[in-house]
């Protein structure tokens, strides 16, 4: 048996550490000894029962991880015990729908995710299909490697779905881990980056400046929309990334982006809310949402990490054993840290 963090029933809470049987890989799967697992905002949504993705308790939580292959299924080729890896979260997709056939399996309506439907990484071992594996670059440690998944989500949003170019003024709302990963990708693209947050985000805005933000704005202290106009002779930001998942972030974004600009929704709000939607028509905005990631985004994320153009490890503020998950979730929700990593019990 192994210790694992389990969402054991639908509804609010219903999470606990349980003894679970050690998993065995199927013929096309590998078993990975987990070394680090990132706590994601969506794990808190699973805890609070306000996620719209398929969830099938009882299930071991956690979908951001890195580790070492401990066992290889009989039919698996190209992977060996001891390989350092991370893996995509799309544990199963239908393979038949238009999204799947076009390689956009992140939007498959029947997508079932690791940590939601299939057992996840907040445990000693996780089993995944070999086709979802990615090799960790030698210079990327397990903690940094566990953040490949959120980075791949941001690569999909910033580099695959949005056009960011040198000379653009890009505004980002929400300086949490996702916002700070998007920031690094915006800077790697050569654009000018403005990161917006609240007074509670003071330390995160400081981190944003360390990571290359050209300006940070506390939206509770300054008129951020006006500040963007002042920077751009009245035009507004070329591109806006909403990473806070707060309605105020979306409202500010539609205001601050210029006519013919781009607005990309990355954060999840967890509930419907009112928005001045016709600004999209008046400004001829190109608006897109971004959900998860796919193979191409993983490859690009790992390349950026290998070359040191993005630093994921610097975002990790706390590491807890899985048994201290309550404290980890509390620190996360209180925004006392930035990115939190859980490590399995060994020995
Ligand atoms: Zn995640
Ligand atoms: Zn499909």
CATH tag, 2-148+293-343: 3.90.180.10
Q: Averaged over 13-36, what is the pLDDT?
A: 96
- Give the pLDDT mean for 336-345: 92
Q: What is the pLDDT of residues 252-309, one digit of tens each?
A: 999 999 999 999 999 988 889 999 999 999 999 999 999 889 999 999 999 999 999 9
How many Å apart are CA 19 and CA 326, to the nearest integer? 17
Higher pLDDT among residues 134 and 49, named by residue: 134
pLDDT at 339: 96
Q: CA-to-CA distance for 46 and 40, rounded, in angstroms? A: 10
Specify the pLDDT at position 270: 81
68-80: pLDDT as tens digits: 999 999 999 999 9
Q: Looking at the predicted structure, is the pLDDT value of residue 5 above 70?
A: yes
State the residue for tokens 């990571």.
211
pLDDT of residue 50: 83
pLDDT, mean over the chain: 95
Calpha distance 74→30 (Å, rounded): 9
Residue 338 confidence (pLDDT):
94
Name residue 316's beta-bridge partners: 339
Instruction: Identify the pLDDT of residue 54.
Output: 85
Give the model confidence (pLDDT) of 83-128 as tens digits. Answer: 999 999 988 999 999 999 999 998 999 999 999 999 999 999 999 9
DSSP state of 131: G
| Model pLDDT, residue 71 | 97
Per the CB < 8 A criterion, the answer to whether 34 and 259 are in contact is: no
CA 20 / ligand 1 centre spacing (Å): 23
H/E element, 172: strand 169-173
The pLDDT-based confidence of 156 (bands split at 50, 70, 90) is: very high
Residue holding tokens 């995710």?
A: 113
The dihedral through the CA atoms of 60, 66, 67, 73 has a sign that is positive
Please check the confidence at residue 250 and state whether its pLDDT lies above 90: yes
* Ligand lying closest to the C-alpha of residue 109: 2
**For the chain, domain boundaries:** 2-148+293-343, 162-289
CA–centroid distance, residue 170 to ligand 1 (Å): 23
Whether 3 contacts 112, CB under 8 Å:
no
Beta-carbon contacts of 255 under 8 Å, excluding residues fewer than 6 positions away, are 225, 236, 279
Distance 53 CA to ligand 2 centre (A): 14
Report the distance separating Cα 13 and Cα 31, nearest Å.
28
Tell me, in angstroms, the distance from the centre of ligand 2 to residue 296's CA. 17
Which residues crowd ion ligand 2, with CB under 5 Å? 93-94, 97, 100, 108
- Tokens of residue 146, six digits: 């566990």
Angle 13-67-26 from CA coordinates, rounded to 5°:
85
Pairing of strands 316-321, 339-343: parallel
For residue 269, count other CB atoms closer than 10 A to its CB.
15
- Ligand lying nearest the CA atom of residue 151: 1
User: Residues with Cβ < 8 Å from 99, sequence gap 6 or more?
Assistant: 105, 106, 107, 108, 109
Point out the ligand nearest to the CA of residue 94: 2
Residue 347, C-beta contacts closer than 8 angstroms, at least 6 positions apart: none
Q: How many angstroms is it from 63 CA to the middle of ligand 1?
A: 6
Confidence of residue 52 (pLDDT cuts 50, 70, 90): confident
pLDDT at residue 269 in the model: 87
Asked if 164 and 189 touch (Cβ cutoff 8 Å), the reply is yes
* Token code pair at residue 49: 């029962």
pLDDT at residue 74, as a whole number: 96
Mean pLDDT along residues 316-321: 96
User: 162-289 — its CATH code?
Assistant: 3.40.50.720
In terms of phi and psi (left: phi > 0; alpha: psi -120 to 50; beta: otherwise), the region of 236 is left
The structure's pTM equals 0.94
According to the model, what pLDDT value does residue 76 have? 97
Strand partners, 76: none
Peptide bond into 58 cis (omega under 30): yes
In the three-class reduction of DSSP (H, G, I as helix; E, B as strand; rest coil), residue 71 is classed as strand
192: helix, strand or coil: strand
Percentage above 90 pLDDT, the chain = 90
CA of 43 to the centre of ligand 2 (A): 24
Q: What are phi and psi of 193, to 5 degrees?
A: -115, 130
Note the pLDDT tens digit of each residue in 166-220. 999 999 999 999 999 999 999 999 999 999 999 999 999 999 999 999 999 999 9
- The CA distance from 172 to 187, in Å, is 12
């Amino acid at each position: 048996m192994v210790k694992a963090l389990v969402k054991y029933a639908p509804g609010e809470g219903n999470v606990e550490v349980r003894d679970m049987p050690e998993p065995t890989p199927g013929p096309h799967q590998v078993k990975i000894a987990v070394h680090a697992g990132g706590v994601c905002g969506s794990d808190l949504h699973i805890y609070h029962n306000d996620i719209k993705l398929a969830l099938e308790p009882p299930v071991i939580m956690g979908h951001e991880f890195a580790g070492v292959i401990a066992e290889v299924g009989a039919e698996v080729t190209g992977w060996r015990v001891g390989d350092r890896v991370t893996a995509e979260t799309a544990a199963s997709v239908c393979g038949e729908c238009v999204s799947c056939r076009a390689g956009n399996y992140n939007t498959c309506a029947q997508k079932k995710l690791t940590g939601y439907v299939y057992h996840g990484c907040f445990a000693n071992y996780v089993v995944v299909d070999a086709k979802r594996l990615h090799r960790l670059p030698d210079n990327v440690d397990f903690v940094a490697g566990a953040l490949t998944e959120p980075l791949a989500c941001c690569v999909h949003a910033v580099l695959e779905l949005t056009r960011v170019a040198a000379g653009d003024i890009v505004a980002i709302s929400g300086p949490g881990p996702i916002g700070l990963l998007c920031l690094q990708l915006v800077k790697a693209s050569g654009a000018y980056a403005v990161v917006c947050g609240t007074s509670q985000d003071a330390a995160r805005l400081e981190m944003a400046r360390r990571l290359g933000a050209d300006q940070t704005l506390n939206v509770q202290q300054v008129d951020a929309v006006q500040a963007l106009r002042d920077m751009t002779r009245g035009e507004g930001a070329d591109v806006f990334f909403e990473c806070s998942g707060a309605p105020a972030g979306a409202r500010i974004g539609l205001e601050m982006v210029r006519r013919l600009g781009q607005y990309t929704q990355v954060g999840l709000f967890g509930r419907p809310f009112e928005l001045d939607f016709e600004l999209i028509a008046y400004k001829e905005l190109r608006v897109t949402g971004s959900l998860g990631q796919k193979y191409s985004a993983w490859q690009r994320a790992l390349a950026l990490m290998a070359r040191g153009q993005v630093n994921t490890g610097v975002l990790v503020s706390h590491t807890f054993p899985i048994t201290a998950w309550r404290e980890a979730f509390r620190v996360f929700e209180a925004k006392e840290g930035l990115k939190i990593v859980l490590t399995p019990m060994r020995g």
